[in-house]
Amino acid sequence: MKRKEKRCRNCGRYFRLGKFKPYAQHYCWDEECRQASLRAAKAKYRKKQSQSLEYRMKESRRVQG
């Protein structure tokens, strides 16, 4: 079975998908692209956390003392 190629979200080059979970891979294996992948994941996590009521209440209590 031939593996598909996908375009990297960071550099735009085509890359061969990995063996496991190829549907979840959006970045190639270059160091710069891997760092971009981590930055995107962290930003997604922070956005999700900042919208959470529990997180906002915990931060509010922390700031108030």
Q: What does the pLDDT look like over 26-64, one tens digit per residue?
A: 999 999 999 999 999 999 998 887 777 777 787 778 778
User: Which is higher by pLDDT, 1 or 4?
Assistant: 4
Number of domains in the chain: 1
Q: How big is the CA angle at 60 (ends 52 and 58), to the nearest 5 degrees?
A: 55
**SS3 of 7, please?**
strand
Domain that holds residue 30: 5-64
pTM > 0.75: yes or no: no
